[in-house]
Amino acid sequence: MSAILTVTLNPALDLATSVGQVVPNLKLRCGPETAEPGGGGVNVARAIMQLGGQSQALVALGGHTGKALETLLADQRLATIRIEAPAETRHSFAVTDQSSGEQYRFVLAGPTWTDAQLDQMLDQLDSVAPQDAFVVLSGSMPPGAKPGFIPHACARLGSGRKLVVDTSGAHLEAQAKGPKPAPFVLRMDSHEAETLSGLALETQAESAAFAEELRQRGAGRLVIIARGKDGSVMADGTGLWHVNASNETVVSAIGAGDSFVGGFVMGLAQGETPPEALRFGAAAASAAVISEGTQLCHRSDWDRLLPLTEITKL
Residue 181 belongs to domain with CATH number: 3.40.1190.20
Give mean pLDDT, residues 60-67.
96
Q: Which of 97, 258, 301, 303 is catalytic?
A: 258
User: Is a pLDDT exceeding 80 seen at residue 219?
Assistant: yes
- Flag the least confident range among 52-56, 106-110, 169-173, 239-243: 106-110
Q: What local confidence, expressed as pLDDT, does residue 312 receive?
A: 97
Domain assignment present for residue 33? The answer is: no
Show the beta-strand stretches assigned E in 20-161.
34-38, 56-61, 80-84, 90-97, 103-107, 134-138
Predicted local distance difference test score (pLDDT) of residue 270: 97
pLDDT tens per residue across span 250-290: 776 777 899 999 999 999 999 999 999 999 999 999 999 88
Beta-carbon neighbour count of residue 118 at 10 Å?
Answer: 21
Asked whether residue 19 is domain-assigned, the answer is: no
Residue 105 located in a structural domain = no
Q: Is residue 24 part of a domain?
A: no
What global pTM score does this model have? 0.91
In the chain, the percentage of residues whose pLDDT exceeds 90 is 85
Confidence category of residue 212, pLDDT binned at 50, 70, 90? very high
pLDDT exceeds 90 at position 72: yes
What angle in degrees, to the nearest 10, is found between the helix axes of 204-217 and 190-197? 60
Averaged pLDDT for residues 7-29: 93
Q: What is the β-pairing status of strands 232-235 and 185-189?
A: unpaired
- The whole domain housing 203 covers 4-11+38-81+113-313
For residue 258, indicate whether it is catalytic. yes
- Say if 106 falls within a structural domain: no
Domain assignment present for residue 215? The answer is: yes
pLDDT-based confidence at 294, cuts 50/70/90?
low
Element housing 188 (H / E): strand 185-189
**Span 175-183, mean pLDDT?**
96
**Count of the separate structural domains present in the chain:** 1
Whether 100 is covered by a domain: the verdict is no
pLDDT at 121: 96
101 inside domain: no
Q: Say what percent of the chain tops pLDDT 70.
A: 98
Taking each helix axis as running N to C, give the angle between helix 115-128 and helix 149-157, from 0 to 180 degrees, rounded to the nearest 10: 30
